[in-house]
Amino acid sequence: MDWIACRKRYERELTERVVPFWEKHSPDRECGGFITCLDRDGSMYDGNKYMWPQWRLVYVFAMLYKSRYGAGREDWLQLARDGFDWLVSHGRTEDGSYYFQLNREGEPAVAPYNIFSDCFAAMGSAALFAATGEERHRAEAESSMASYLRRLDNPKGRWEKNLPGKGKRRGLAGYMILANLAELMRECLGTDQYEKDVQVAARRVVDDFWNPRLNVLFENVNLDGGFDLSSTEGRLISPGHGLECCWFLLAYADRVGDKALAARLCDMVDALFRFGWDQTYGGLFYFMDACGKPPGELTHNMKLAWVQNEACLAALHAYRASGDPRFIEWFRRADEWSFTHYPDQEFGEWFTYLDRRGEVVIQAKGGKWRTLFHLARYLLFASELMRGFAEKAA
C-alpha cells in the first residue's frame, strides 16, 4: 500500500473539497450558529438548529485549527468560538443539559430528551479548550460531561415515551460514546478523571454487547446482559456503529498497552466486516438482523457515507494494532468503494445517502443529523495514521 500517495489524496479531499464547502455555506451570518440543512449546492433548505450537528461543527473546526493544517487559520478557530458562544447562550437549559432543537433565531423548539446533545456539547467544548486554553471552555466541557454521565442510565428522563410493557435494555451507543468521550476529555483537558468510565465502557462493549456465538456486536442487550433474539430490536446490528466502537477502543487499548484487548477488538473488526459487507454491490449495509430475519429498519440496505468512514478508520486502527495485512485489504475495499461513490465532483463535499447499488438517493449535504463530522474526522485521523505507517516503513 502506498501510504504516502493515499495520505496526500485524503489531505486534498479534506482541505480542498470538504472543509471549504462548510466554511462557505454553514455559518449563519444573520442569526448566529450554523446552518446544517444544506442542499447539494450549499443552499439552505431548513433553518432549524439541531444540537448534534451544531456542536459537532464546533468540535471539527477546533480540531482542524489544532491540526497540522491549522497554522494561520484563525478563521477556523473563530468559527468554533462563535458557535460555542451562540450555543451556550441559546441552547443550554437551567440544569446544564442541552435542547435537542432550536429554531433558526435560537428559541427552544424540542425538549432536551436526547442525551447525545450533551455528549457533543462536551466534545465541542473540550476541543475548543484544547485550542484556546480558556477556562470557560473547560468549564462547559466538564458541565456537559457531568450531564451526560448523570443521564446515562436514564437517557430520556421525563421525556421517555416507552411504557413498562416495552421492557428495558442497555444500548451500545451510550457506552461506545462514553469510551470516546472519556478519551477525548483526557486528551483535550489533560485529566484522568474519567479513566474508570472508559474502562467500564470497554468492558461493557466486549463482554456484554459482543455475541461470541453469532460473532456480531449487538445494538441492544437485556439488562441482565442476555440477548433478545425474539424481536427485531433485540437482533438489530449496525455494522458502522460496531466498527466505530472498535476503533474507539483500539485507540484506548493502544494508549494503555492492553494487547489482549487489542487482539480481541481486531477479531471483532474482521468479523464485522465479514458480516456487514455487501458481497453483491460492495459497501457496508446500514442495518442488519443478527439472525438474517427481516430487519426492522426500512433503511437497512442503504449505504451511508458515515458507515464507510468509520469502517475505514477501524481497518486502519486494526492494522496498526496487529500488522495483519487482512486489514489493509478491508481498508482498500472500503476506501475504493467510498471514493468511487460518495464525492460530489461538481459542488464538492460528499453525498451521504445511497441505495444498495450505490446510486444517490438524497442529494443534500447536511441535515438534522449530518454535518461536517464523520467525514472530516475520518479524513483527518486516517491521514495521520497513514503518516505513521509511511514513517515506520521508511
Over the stretch 282-336, which tens digit does the pLDDT of each residue have?
999 999 999 999 999 999 999 999 999 999 999 999 999 999 999 999 999 999 9
Cα separation, 23 vs 60, in Å, equals 11
Beta bridge partners of 378: none
Helix (H) or strand (E) holding 366: none
Here the cell at position 274 is 465479514
With H, G, I as helix, E, B as strand and everything else as coil, classify residue 318.
Answer: helix
The overall average pLDDT reported for the chain is 97
**Alpha-helix runs per DSSP H in the chain:** 3-12, 19-25, 51-66, 74-91, 116-132, 135-151, 172-189, 195-203, 239-256, 259-276, 305-322, 325-341, 374-393
Single-letter residue type at 51: M
Type of residue numbered 42:
G
pLDDT band per the 50, 70, 90 thresholds, residue 106 = very high
- Are 66 and 133 within 8 A, CB to CB? no
pLDDT at residue 5, as a whole number: 98
Nearest to 54 by CA among 15, 75, 82: 82
Q: For 33, what's the count of Cα atoms within 13 Å in the CB-facing half-sphere?
A: 27
Helix axes 74-91 and 51-66, enclosed angle (nearest 10) = 150
Q: Please state, in angstroms and rounded to a whole number, the distance separating the CA atoms of residues 216 and 227.
A: 12
Identify the DSSP state of 165: G
3-state class percentages of the chain: helix first, strand second, coil last, to nearest 5: 55, 10, 35
Cα distance between residue 313 and residue 248, in whole Å? 9
Which of 289, 285, 291, 306 is CA-nearest to residue 357?
285
> What pLDDT, on a 0 to 100 scale, did the predictor assign at position 225?
85
Which residues, 6+ apart, have CB-to-CB distance to 33 below 8 Å? Answer: 49, 54, 83, 86, 87, 90, 102, 106
- State the Cα angle at 164 between 162 and 167, rounded to 5°: 80
pLDDT of residue 394: 78
Nearest alpha-carbon partner for 49 in 113, 138, 132, 117: 117
| Burial environment of residue 348 by CB neighbours within 10 A (0 to 12, 13 to 18, 19 or more) | buried
pLDDT at 164 over 90: no
**What pLDDT, on the 0 to 100 scale, is given for residue 326?**
98
Compute the average pLDDT of residues 64-70. Answer: 97
Q: In this predicted structure, what is the pLDDT of residue 168? A: 85
Q: How far apart are the first and last CA of the chain?
A: 13
Which range is least confidently modeled, 68-77, 156-165, 252-261, 378-387?
156-165
Distance CA 274, CA 288 (A): 12
